[in-house]
């Protein structure tokens, strides 16, 4: 297939002029490795006008958007593609209110689909960070206090992040996750999910990291009011500014998806030419995310 490359909106609109263009792209992604019927596993199918596949044995029809994160999109695939394109190519991001006005859809519909896009942006965890990795925590929400250190304010959302650095000390990759508290039990998952056991990890002198150091190569050094952690503090500042200026408020049950969105774009900042295609492939490979699975009650 001819993959879409670039960040140019005019080129994007020229490539995806209709829902049918979008269906063709999804079909080529979905069946790039061949066809297998979901019901009977037969490997032969006829191609319909809308690029759906009809099994030649059991006659089961499968559309290019079925069983993906595009499943049952109510406002058309073209608008869905445009929203996904903006979320992957726009550095600052857009709120669901802005997106709804932009494409003439309800704010709730825009919000729900944007959450599905963020599901596609979630890391697979298959490429753990290596080399030098810096780990620190921060809080989101509530009144900003001009002080260093951990906040135990129950209204604030606590987050741990890890940044992989290049040999020149530049940020290469970043991952972040919400945590309940600053205990070793809460801090541990980001190590297991995203950091290789061989990585040279640097943290501040918080005692909980000392517990995790039994299984990881961790060097604990004084923070010096953030002077020893400039790169990761710069990224923390960018995350907090992005959340505050774009969304103003984020529910704690959804914050991981927003963190996934930020990290997805950052981690692919040198692969902007293929970032949209990469996202499309992920959304096709992901299972549908129904409304009930996205809405949280806590």
Q: Can you give the pLDDT at residue 226? A: 84
Fold of 132-267: Nucleotidyltransferase; domain 5 (3.30.420)
Cα dihedral 271→22→261→97 (10° resolution)? 130
Pairwise CA distance, residues 202 & 133, whole Å = 6
Pairwise CA distance, residues 212 & 57, whole Å = 55
Pairwise CA distance, residues 14 & 206, whole Å = 53
For the chain, domain boundaries: 9-120+273-294, 132-267
The answer to pTM > 0.75 is yes
Portion of the chain with pLDDT greater than 90, in percent: 81
Residue ranges, the chain, pLDDT below 50: 297-298
Task: State how beta strands 157-165 and 132-140 pair.
Answer: antiparallel
Contacts of 232 (CB under 8 A, 6+ apart): 134, 135, 136, 161, 163
Per-residue DSSP letter, 6? S
Instruction: Give the tens place of pLDDT for each residue, 248-288.
Output: 778 888 999 999 999 999 999 989 999 999 999 999 999 99
Q: Can you give the pLDDT at residue 99? A: 95
What's the order of all strands across the beta sheet hosting 53-55?
A: 45-47, 53-55, 61-62
């Amino acid at each position: 297939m001819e993959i879409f490359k670039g960040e140019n909106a005019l080129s994007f609109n020229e490539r995806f002029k209709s829902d049918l263009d979008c269906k063709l792209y999804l079909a080529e992604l979905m069946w790039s490795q061949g066809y297998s019927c979901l019901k009977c596993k037969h490997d032969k199918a006829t191609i319909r006008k809308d690029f759906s596949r009809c099994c030649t044995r059991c006659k089961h029809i499968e559309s290019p958007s079925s069983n993906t994160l595009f499943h049952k999109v109510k406002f058309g695939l073209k608008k869905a593609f445009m929203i996904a394109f903006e979320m992957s190519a726009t550095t600052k991001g857009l709120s669901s209110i802005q997106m709804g006005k932009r494409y003439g859809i309800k704010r709730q519909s825009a919000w729900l689909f944007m959450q599905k896009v963020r599901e596609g942006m979630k890391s697979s965890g298959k490429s753990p960070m290596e080399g030098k990795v810096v780990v620190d925590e921060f809080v989101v929400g509530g009144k900003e206090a001009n002080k260093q250190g951990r906040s135990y304010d129950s209204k604030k959302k606590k987050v741990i992040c890890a940044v992989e650095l290049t040999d020149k000390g530049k940020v290469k990759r970043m991952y972040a996750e919400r945590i309940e508290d600053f205990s070793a039990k809460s801090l541990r998952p980001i190590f297991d999910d995203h950091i290789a056991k061989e990585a040279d990890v640097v943290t501040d002198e918080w005692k909980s990291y000392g517990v995790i150091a039994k299984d990881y190569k961790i060097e604990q050094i004084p923070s010096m009011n953030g002077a020893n952690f400039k790169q990761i503090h710069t990224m923390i500042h960018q995350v907090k500014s992005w959340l505050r200026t774009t969304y103003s408020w984020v529910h704690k049950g959804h914050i991981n998806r927003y963190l996934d969105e930020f990290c997805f774009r950052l981690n692919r900042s040198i692969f902007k030419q293929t970032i949209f295609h990469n996202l499309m492939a992920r959304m096709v490979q992901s299972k549908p995310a129904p409304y009930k699975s996205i809405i949280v009650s806590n």
